[in-house]
Amino acid sequence: MTDTNMQKQTLREWLMTDTPTSRRHAKFAALYSGWLTLKSNSMAMVGLGILLLLVLIAAAAPLLAPMDPFTQNLGNRLQPPGTEGHLLGTDSLGRDILSRMIYGSRITLYIVALVALIAPIVGLLVGTVAGYTGGWIDTILMRITDIFLAFPRLVLALAFVAALGAGIENAVLAISLTAWPPYARIARAETLTIRNSDYIAAIKLQGARAFRIITRHIWPLCISSLIVRVTLDMAGVILAAAGLGFLGLGAQPPSPEWGAMIAEGRRFILDHWWVATMPGLAIFTVSLAFNLLGDGLRDVLDPKEGGHS
């Protein structure tokens, strides 16, 4: 056995040990165990592969796009796939659909990343404060959460965008403002189960204040549930962003946003199906990838829930 194989074997044994020697060792062992569980789920790995491919495509868009996504050629409009170098055809202004979809992946990832940063943080803050403090603060925060949950997400997002004005940043803000309530519910439920535990009581006896208890000891215990929810919610976020783009309230022309591309192609759906179908397939594929990965992460991070899927 070579030195490299021996090192790999030693590292594997170190990661799979049942008796970690330190807190850091335990964390690495838990991460490796979770990775092995995720790796055994073939559908989750398919979803992860699609999302990694999307990130690579977005990062290398200038290199991968065969043409300029904004260049118009009215003499070459509505060409079918495979015509004159246009692998997926052209739209009503003669722009290359493949190039626009490649650049559109950047907008999709931009929206997903911002919503994934804003909504869970707001929900985590609201939920943990409500669950830990209780009383009238809990009542007020949860009634506000209930009000947001009472409206369909897309309808509420439309109302916010109508008030804020059309644009991709306002669309992100609107989606984030409608996406935080489920995270607040999850964080509050987790906090209610933790706050009266002996673990928290011991921390209180050491003189820790409420802010330190919430941020240092309650938040880390809520993270795993929120990660699963975020991953599963990203499909809905992509659909909401595409819906706003379809209605002309998201990314504005000539931006190659997938929802706006579908809106443009709906006028030609019967005779020139590829104009709307290609970005529609992209939305479907990425949404499916997030759902597949979310199911796999649920099995890893929340086995109790994963058993019901």
pLDDT higher at 258 or 307: 258
What's the domain count of the chain?
1
Q: Judge whether 81 lies within some domain.
A: no
Q: What angle do CA 59, 101, 249 make, to 5 degrees?
A: 105
The pLDDT value recorded for residue 232 is: 86
d(CA 288, CA 49): 12
pLDDT tens digits, 238-271? 888 888 888 888 888 888 889 888 988 888 888 8
**pTM summary value:** 0.84
Per-chain mean pLDDT for the chain? 85
Residue range of the domain that includes 93: 42-47+87-306
pLDDT at residue 305 tops 70:
no
Q: Judge whether 23 lies within some domain.
A: no
Q: Judge whether 13 lies within some domain.
A: no
d(CA 295, CA 291): 6
d(CA 227, CA 60): 27
Q: Judge whether 197 lies within some domain.
A: yes
Q: Judge whether 78 lies within some domain.
A: no
pLDDT tens digits, 56-85? 999 999 999 998 899 888 888 888 888 877
pLDDT tens digits, 176-216? 888 999 999 999 998 888 888 888 888 888 887 888 888 88
The pLDDT value recorded for residue 60 is: 93
The CA dihedral of 194, 197, 199, 201, to the nearest 10 degrees, is 110
| Cα dist from 267 to 12, 65, 76, 199, whole Å | 57, 25, 18, 61
CATH code of 248's domain: 1.10.3720.10
Q: Judge whether 71 lies within some domain.
A: no
Q: Judge whether 73 lies within some domain.
A: no
Backbone angles phi, psi at 81, to 5 degrees: -55, 135
Q: Judge whether 219 lies within some domain.
A: yes
The pLDDT value recorded for residue 307 is: 44
Cross-strand bridge partners of residue 90: 96
